[in-house]
Structure 1
Amino acid sequence: MKSKLTAVALAAVVVAGTAAAAVPASAAPAAPEPARCHTADLKAGFAMGDDAKPEMEQADKQTQAFIWFTNQSKRTCTLSGFAGVDMVGAQETDGTWSLARSSKKPVKMTLKPGDTVDFSINLLPVAGSTPQKEKFVPAKFLVTPPNETEHFTLKWPFGGQILKQDGATHPATYLNPIGM
């Protein structure tokens, strides 16, 4: 009788062990999704390549400037949405202009350490002969990553001036989401 109980107990252990080993991989717990990127995780700047520089000398159509974020942390993180962008003017009458957002839908971007993503700003340059009250002369940009409160201060390196539409509901100068 003792050997029968031992055999049944041994069979139960073998079956239990087999059942534990047979758990499909899809039922295994998923790795946690990366946390969002914080300002301290990133560095930022204007894209300076020839194909990335805005055409500030032309005044008859929109052009684009690009700002990049690079993940300088040792962890993977995500960015999604719109950066906050305030242009600070060089003229006494310019003040600060908080850029409106486009209607494009943001996507989540995953940045491994060292990865870079950018976003574009549509600009409407004007001729130098435009009256001062109708033009905004950018001096620096205050750029805040999505869902953050700390910003980067970037000096505007491209010169030129932009049609002043800081009170317009649909200005020709606006920003696009991260990754677009």
Structure 2
Amino acid sequence: MKSKLTAVALATVVVAGTAAAAVPASAATAKAAPTRCHTADLKAGFATGEDAKPEMDQTKKQTQAFIWFTNQSKRTCTLSGFAGVDMIGAQKTDSTWSLVRSAKKPQKIVLEHGDTVDFSINLLPVAKSTPQKQKFVPAKFLVTPPNETKHFTLKWPFGGQILKQDGATHPGTYVNPVGL
């Protein structure tokens, strides 16, 4: 009699359209994949340690500056791609220079609370004797995390000048992907 009642009860649930699918235990405990980091989730700044400072006094080769992002949110989030970087010049003849991207392929970076990742900017410094119209003197950097529209404003702490190539197709100053 017991099995007959069970069969009738099951048939009633199926007919009523309320049968629930069984959920495997592994799926019930799985976390949702982290979503991308938003500007409000992050802090940003220039890496200023001795090994991270660009060599702005030399003028024979490219050098690099590094900008970091730290996840200050309470959640895990991801960054993938290139930060937007606009340099604002200190001279009256300097305008805003939006840096082009390198050809390097971005990778997805997972940041837990407190984790930091950086990216580099290749710079082509010039001598002080270079004609004024050929040099760009950085003052501030507007840094927008990948896939975001709000930016951080960072004061350029290193001095020096960069060869002005804001209209060049392949300038010596450009941005690399986050994490590379």
TM-score by length of 1: 0.86
Deviations 1:113-160 (Å, cap 9, x if unpaired)? 111000000000000000001100000100001111111000000000
Q: Which residue is 1:77 aligned to?
A: 77
Q: Which residue of 2 aligns with 1:129?
A: 129
Aligned equivalent of 1:44? 44
Structure 2 CA distance for aligned equivalents of residues 101 and 10 of structure 1? 69
**Which residue of the partner structure matches residue 103 of structure 2?**
103
User: Does 2:144 correspond to 1:144?
Assistant: yes
Q: Deviations over 1:93-129 (max 9, x none)?
A: 0111000000111111111111100000000000000
Q: Which residue of 2 aligns with 1:156?
A: 156
In the alignment, residue 148 of structure 1 is paired with which amino acid? E
Secondary structure (helix, strand or coil) at the match of 2:40 reads helix
- Structure 1 residue ranges without an equivalent (≥5): 13-19
Q: Which amino acid aligns with 2:107?
A: V
Q: CA deviation at 1:32?
A: 1.4
Runs of 4+ in 1 over 2 A off after TM superposition: 8-12, 27-31
How far off its partner does 1:24 sit?
A: 7.4
Once residues 43 and 145 of structure 1 are traced to their aligned partners in structure 2, the CA distance between those partners, rounded to angstroms, is 10
Length, aligned pairs only: 166
Deviation of residue 31 (structure 1)? 2.3
**Partner amino acid for 1:84?**
G
For residue 17 of structure 1, what is the aligned residue in structure 2? none
- Corresponding residue of 1:112: 112
Q: Structure 1 residues 162 and 50 mapped into 2: Cα distance closer, same or farther (>3 Å)?
A: same
For 1:175 and 1:64, locate their aligned partners in 2 and report how far apart those are by CA, in whole Å.
10
Deviation at 1:171, TM superposition (A): 0.4
Deviations 1:61-116 (Å, cap 9, x if unpaired)? 00000000001111111111100000000010011100000011111111111110
- 1:68 and 2:49 are equivalent in the alignment: no
3-state SS of 1:75 partner:
coil
2:38 maps to 1:35? no
Kindly provide the amino acid, as one letter, of the partner of residue 100 in structure 2.
A
Look up the SS of the partner of 2:54 in the other structure: coil
Q: What percentage of residue pairs aligned between the two structures are identical? A: 78
Cα distance in 2 for partners of 1:109, 1:78 equals 5
Q: Match of 2:152, as an amino acid?
A: F
Q: How far apart are 1:9 and its partner, in Å?
A: 6.7
* Residue matched to 2:168: 168
Structure 2 gap ranges (5+): 8-21
- Given the superposition, is the C-alpha separation of residues 24 and 77 from structure 1 closer, same or farther in structure 2, using an over 3 Å criterion? closer
Paired amino acid for 1:178: V
